[in-house]
Copies of this chain bind each other. A is one copy, B any other.
């Protein structure tokens, strides 16, 4: 049985009302009285009950975060960004994973709702439509990160993949490459399209041919998909001098294939990845890639959400959509070099 304001009130010889006011800094209570009450509260080790307070105030100082898997380092960084951003405002965060399963996702959102979280952040997950509507129905402010579903959400943060792809391809072009392949991942529908589009845009901007034999789409973004895709590219065309991979894992797979076949990187073929996962710096050779600012994305989503929560008290119909695109930066390492083929 923990200490309550009534215990403090008894010891101080006042009513619980006065204690409540004193601890909340209500100016009606003179400083002298407040000081006494604060002292007693300290001695007793009093900690207010968030449940009781939330019941009255209608806000819990808790945010919910849903990701597909917590053990995915990509989400780990995002979550860290979120936590650091909301910590000072006194929020705690619930974290749950959906495992890409609409059923689990629903259970998670229900749990969040029952706990009356003040807001929710949805991490890169193709969130189920009816689950999203559940949040709308309960009027819980929601921010979506890297929206993967077909519909657009009202409040969203996303990484500017098109821009990133352009930077990578421009880097390769500046190194003198002309025949640049794209090793894609069709499973990541929306993201893959953006990166592919950026690739095409930049090629076109330099009057370079886009040829379909330079691209391949694998049904996944793992190392083995990179292996399969690179092998395929090598059989399809013999004159490519650079490969832009959908992500770093696939690039690692590509490096393996090239190494096995005795093709030197970057002398014979340059390889670039995307995302900058922690080990991209330690591959052989270290991988040129585009750093997605995961931490900042998390922090930005948190900032947007807190702003929404702040506003939700207002009356005005300020409910126009807000969308923010975040940009990362190119990281040039040793896996890309000057084109030595022509």
Q: Give me the interface of A with B, judged by CB distance under 8 Å.
A: 2, 45, 47-52, 54-55, 60, 62, 69-73, 75-77, 79-80, 83, 87, 90, 92-97, 104, 107, 110-116, 134, 137-138, 223, 252, 256, 259, 278-279, 282-284, 295
Contact = CB atoms under 8 A, between A and B. Distances in A.
Contacts of A110: 47
Given A55-B49, A279-B279, A295-B71, A111 B92 contact: yes
Nearest to A1: B58
Contacts of A71: 73, 76-77, 79-80, 295
Contacts of A256: 282
Given A92-B96, A94-B92, A48 B79 contact: no
A50 B55 CA distance: 10
A227 to B, nearest CB: 11
Copies of this polypeptide in the complex: 2
Contact of A49 (B48, B80, B114): B114
Contacts of A283: 282
Contact of A114 (B45, B50, B69, B77): B50
A45 B137 contact: yes
Tell me if A's interface is mostly helix, strand, loop or mixed. helix
A150 to B, nearest CB: 25
Contacts of A83: 70, 95-97
Contacts of A87: 96, 104, 107
A284 B69 CA distance: 28
18 contacts: A47-B110, A48-B114, A49-B114, A49-B116, A51-B54, A51-B60, A51-B115, A70-B83, A71-B76, A71-B80, A71-B295, A73-B73, A83-B95, A90-B111, A92-B111, A94-B95, A95-B95, A259-B284
B50 A252 contact: no
A85 to B, nearest CB: 12
A77 B73 CA distance: 9
B62 A70 contact: no
Contacts of A92: 94, 96, 111-112, 115
A136 to B, nearest CB: 11
